[in-house]
Amino acid sequence: MGMTITEKILADHCGEKIVKPGQLINAKVDIALGNDITAPLAIKEVRKLGIKEVFDKDRVVLVPDHFTPNKDIKSAEQVKMLRDFAIEYGLTNYFEVGQMGVEHALLPEKGIVLPGDVVIGADSHTCTYGALGAFSTGSGSTDLAAAMILGEVWLKVPASLKFVFSGKLNKWVSGKDLILYVIGMIGVDGALYKAMEFCGEVIKNMNMSNRMTMCNMAIEAGGKNGIIEPDDITEEYVKHRAKREYKFYKSDADAVYEKIYNVNVSEIEPLVALPHLPENVKPVSQVNNIKIDQVVIGSCTNGRLEDMAEAAAVLKGRKVAKNVRCIIIPATQEIWKESMKRGYFDIFIDAGAAISTPTCGPCLGGHMGILAKGERAIATTNRNFVGRMGDVESEVYLSNPAVAAASAITGKITHPDEL
């Protein structure tokens, strides 16, 4: 009996020929990742144990991106802890402001995470790297500490769910809409501790940016990981970035899935997830005219160059509505630079938007766009829980960049075709 791509990667990393769902394994880790919120706890544990070296200086990665540039004394102290640790332990991959980016956009861009890897990150959206054909999943800070020391992680092999996408994408529909559709279909716990494997002709024709968006939000359905089989598009993305060897894995034809879902994308229009759960999904045509106060375009979900291009296409020659704050956050320095070079910044600024240095910022209610009581935001981020972006009586609506940009122009949730 065959194995899925997730099972094959895990088997190779634990020294077994075959692994099965439910099996407990000890897997070798290729990358252990922490940020300015989660890594300090791991660092404290490493120091408490008296450990003087990490398992591999090139494979422990620290990215201060959530509250950076530092918003207050506490966040400055958190980042200083990372900086001091990186210097003392000789870490190769520590990224300070000016080189830093939102971690899940930065690591693929730098060629640090590669196809076939096992990646453990103390951040729930570590599942993003499944877009490269890696097994990547979030962990707690103590698990990160163990991975930093041993280069290993103890976990249970997840059962796999297969999502087959067919049909033709409608205008303004992107990877964000497909993953919102899936979450709306199965619910926020519909893939609890499962591997979510995305495939079909639609996925094969999808660029890496949209693939990353889809895998990024696997956790919003409870998934252990999201994953896409690597192909020529993957190879084109990684071949000039890779800093070491990588391996493409593919699911066997007779691999066993717990369930298979077939999705006809021709039936999907741009979607919006209403407060206060990502599963509360409706077509934008059914939720328009909801007044908004803020628009956020960015994050590890939709802060890549293609997202900047989509927002620019909608905002070009138009103005952000009066009394609406439109905040645009390119996810890395490279994306920031290329967006400026392509003229996107002129479009954004002429429209009346603000452009930020890379940061997670408002996504988690950190800084750079906090909501007051009663305010509403539409955002290209990944979560819309109660109080996610500010006051517990504020509201967050999730969408793709085109819908967010169109909404900035009208001051209410709007389909781009309505402009």
Please, which pLDDT band fits residue 301 given cuts at 50, 70 and 90? Answer: very high
Distance CA 314, CA 344 (A): 11
Token pair of 358 as six digits: 């890379």
Q: Where are the alpha helices (DSSP H) in 218-263?
A: 232-238
Residue 288 predicted with pLDDT over 90:
no
Do 367 and 387 lie in one domain? The reply is: yes
Tell me what pLDDT residue 414 has: 95
Tell me what pLDDT residue 134 has: 98
The CATH number of the domain where 196 resides is what?
3.30.499.10
Boundary of a domain, candidates 262, 288, 312: 262
Distance CA 70, CA 357 (A): 12
Do 300 and 210 lie in one domain? The reply is: no
Residue pLDDT, tens place only, 257-274: 999 999 999 999 999 999
CA 1 to chain centre: 33
Q: How many domains does the chain have?
A: 2
Do 252 and 284 lie in one domain? The reply is: no
Amino acid at 388: R
Do 170 and 193 lie in one domain? The reply is: yes
Distance CA 334, CA 304 (A): 10
Do 255 and 285 lie in one domain? The reply is: no
Please, which pLDDT band fits residue 144 given cuts at 50, 70 and 90? Answer: very high
Q: Report how far apart the first and last C-alpha atoms of the chain are (Å, whole number).
A: 53
Tell me what pLDDT residue 386 has: 87
Residue pLDDT, tens place only, 71-119: 999 999 999 999 999 999 999 999 999 999 999 999 999 999 999 999 9
How far are the Cα atoms of 19, 225, 252 from residue 14, in angstroms, in the given order? 9, 17, 19
Tell me what pLDDT residue 108 has: 97
Do 409 and 308 lie in one domain? The reply is: yes
Residue 126 predicted with pLDDT over 90:
yes
Read off the pTM.
0.94
Boundary of a domain, candidates 207, 242, 262: 262
Residue partners of 279: CB distance under 8 A and separation at least 6 = 183, 184, 187, 188, 220, 221, 273
CA 305 to chain centre: 14
Tell me what pLDDT residue 17 has: 95
Q: What is the DSSP letter of 293?
A: S
Residue pLDDT, tens place only, 152-186: 999 999 999 999 999 999 999 999 999 999 999 99
Do 256 and 380 lie in one domain? The reply is: no
Boundary of a domain, candidates 262, 288, 317: 262
Residue pLDDT, tens place only, 320-356: 999 999 999 999 999 999 999 999 999 999 999 999 9
Token pair of 266 as six digits: 């021709």
Q: What is the mean pLDDT of the chain?
A: 96
Residue pLDDT, tens place only, 370-380: 999 999 999 99
Residue partners of 306: CB distance under 8 A and separation at least 6 = 207, 209, 210
Residue pLDDT, tens place only, 197-208: 999 999 999 999
Amino acid at 385: F
How far are the Cα atoms of 28, 136, 152, 207, 245 from residue 116, in angstroms, in the given order? 12, 10, 16, 19, 10
Do 211 and 285 lie in one domain? The reply is: no
Q: What is the DSSP letter of 416?
A: G
Backbone dihedral region for residue 374 (phi beyond 0: left; psi -120 to 50: alpha; all else: beta): left
Do 195 and 344 lie in one domain? The reply is: no
Structural domain for 16, as ranges: 5-262
User: Among residues 263, 105, 282, 261, which one has the least CA distance to residue 180?
Assistant: 282
- 3, with CB counted inside 10 A (0-12, 13-18, 19+), is buried
Do 247 and 309 lie in one domain? The reply is: no
Residue partners of 384: CB distance under 8 A and separation at least 6 = 273, 274, 275, 276, 277, 278, 280, 395, 396, 397, 398
Please, which pLDDT band fits residue 223 given cuts at 50, 70 and 90? Answer: very high
Average pLDDT over residues 9-21: 97
Tell me what pLDDT residue 391 has: 87
Average pLDDT over residues 238-243: 94
Do 277 and 250 lie in one domain? The reply is: no
Tell me what pLDDT residue 1 has: 80
Do 251 and 280 lie in one domain? The reply is: no
% of the chain surpassing 70 pLDDT = 100
Residue 41 contacts residue 141 (beta carbons within 8 Å): yes
CA dihedral (181, 186, 189, 192) in degrees, to 10, reads -100
Please, which pLDDT band fits residue 289 given cuts at 50, 70 and 90? Answer: confident
